[in-house]
Chains A and B, each alone.
Chain A
């Protein structure tokens, strides 16, 4: 098979496969998470009060199971995620909430690594630029 023919075959397969993926993912999405999914998400974002660092979702203890049942009850009764987290925070202090995405402190948590990535990327790109010059100067 010639080089061109190989490329054509590869491109054709890739395009067909990509189309299948796009159609499949676009068609079958679930727009609103189920109550069950919300309960597990919430349980994963709240620390088990007496379990030494584990989340309510991760802990196998009876206490954690009770709190998961409580969350399920609150979700069923129509409370929002934020309200449920707030109830736990009010009872056990704000450090019980593992998901910090709603706290003002979380901004730095996201910004600092992002800035590190940007600075590092800039350094790598400069390495190439400064390297190019000597090559362009004839010896």
Chain B
């Protein structure tokens, strides 16, 4: 029954998406928004229905649905049952479709009553929806009926909703990694909202190219959408790193895994885009470049999904292989070739005389930032795809892993910090040496002094010292500039701060993000360059000293929970002298039903300076092997990441450019400049 309803909902959404493409294309001449009301409404309602029906099937343990039988069990806790709705392959496609439908609805609501650019953009979004709901109806159908059982999972399934169903009793349960930590329920939706969000600027860009309306209207109208997508993508990546650190237990947050790269790639190009968009809005430059960046960002989100979901590259994230991969690859090809061909056709309209007065200017430094971010993205993409390229060319196997990415990323990241330090407070057009020096001199002194203090405390790592000098310079320069501007207003301090930020939220939001980025950079340097790792073997009562902390094995413990058995050890963290106890940690190994490999979960103590991170490496209760890591300033990575996100929120909340009346007022110009 639910299979039938689910498939009907999918087909309805699919039909509505096609309808939206047709209606948008036909309405693009007169641009009447209300003509799209029905297809948009049907799309969003049907998409939500798909999602709700899938959740109902999961929560009621309807194991006649193959997806439910294979990815949940009667013993799965409620929150992970809920998360199973999007955690595995077919569910993730449903999530993508739902988020896209909701974005489509929100964009439609913000259209002007007569809006050629927006109406055609909605048709483009409809086209993207056609693909996702088409995929959902075929290769990625979440409502396939289970027709043969092997153990607790479906060995065969049918897309035909009225097929005779066979029902496993308990269900296989989620992949252990997906039910080991609550973050796994939150991290993917955040990333997906980020991914899907970039459909909006992409759709407006394509609409602008088709219409030949290549001015700044599409940029102005998608500014906030891009920021929202960027915020979610940033937050999603941050949560992913945190999850990796808290759950995976290998003692890190970033491994340059292909799928991590897949999330990082659109982040790099999107970050370049939100900077270059500022240059176009303020200085009229980089029109073509902005089209290229937005097309690249959208394409990379599809590539990311392809890498995650096709199993083409070995990865801890690539859970599944299926016919979804080839479909995604074809869609990716269509998007890349189609949009670049369109861009090529319009290139003459878009091309304009560049007007860079001086390389030493705000726009000059943003250009450097764009160059570095793009080359960074290209390098990561090239390194990720390189094994496939070599395989295709020569048939030999090579692996490209952390050693390459670490070595390539460090110089690029340091150059980015340098460009940021030089350019964050530089004036537009032309910055004379005198002006730059006046804005930077105090910050440079503070940055170098911070570096000297670091060296004085015994740090001898060149990379760490350079990073700290640059990062502290950036923070100091922004603080100096901010206090200077606030002081110049001559009001009360609190009122002045409010006025200054309120007058230019975009700028100060950006600067807040830069401060967060500097904090992240410091933590990246210290947790990689100064970390201490040791494997210690302890019997109960034994102690060991690692990186200035004493670790004492207290006792083993076990517990049985509905969905898993827990075997763990209690370990006390003490000061180096082994006298003052700081905390007791419980690293553990969780064994889930279904005979899959046990999953270790580390335990972390966070102090003002260091994280002490302990995971079980092996051994027995009588003699346990513990992985002990000490990560200096690890907390600064999470705090800095949150500051980056907060800056993005501040910038996105900038005052909308003035629009006459409500969104229903007819815009005379047609492709009006309302800030969507």
Contacts and interface: CB of A to CB of B under 8 A. Distances in A.
Instruction: Among A9, A17, A98, A117, find the residue whose CB has the most chain B CB atoms closer than 10 A.
Output: A17
A16 B383 CA distance: 41
B252 A58 contact: yes
Given A53-B316, A113-B382, A131-B355, A60 B249 contact: yes
Given A98-B399, A100-B398, A105-B390, A17 B250 contact: no
B367 interface: yes
Contacts of B452: 16-18, 20-21, 24
B397 interface: yes
Interface string B417-453: 0000000000000000000011001101100110110
A49 to B, nearest CB: 12
B371 A131 contact: no
Given A10-B445, A116-B378, A21 B371 contact: no
A131 B357 contact: yes
Contacts of A60: 248-250, 600, 615-617, 627
A95 B535 contact: no
Interface in A107-131: 109-110, 112-113, 116-117, 120-121, 124-125, 127-128, 130-131
Interface residues of A, number: 62
B530 to A, nearest CB: 13
Contacts of A132: 357
A127 B356 contact: yes
Contact of A128 (B356, B437, B438, B535): B356
Contacts of B448: 13-14, 17-18, 21
Contacts of B485: none
Given A25-B460, A47-B399, A106-B404, 13 more contacts: A3-B438, A11-B441, A13-B448, A17-B452, A25-B455, A55-B402, A68-B535, A96-B399, A98-B402, A100-B400, A101-B407, A116-B375, A127-B356
Contacts of A58: 250-252, 255, 402
Interface in A55-114: 55, 57-60, 62, 65, 68, 93-101, 103, 105-106, 109-110, 112-113
A117 B371 contact: yes
B205 to A, nearest CB: 21
3 closest residue pairs by CB, A with B: A98-B401, A95-B397, A24-B455
Contacts of B458: 28
A135 B462 contact: no
A134 B257 CA distance: 48
A32 B230 CA distance: 44
Nearest to A103: B398
Contacts of A100: 398-400, 403-404
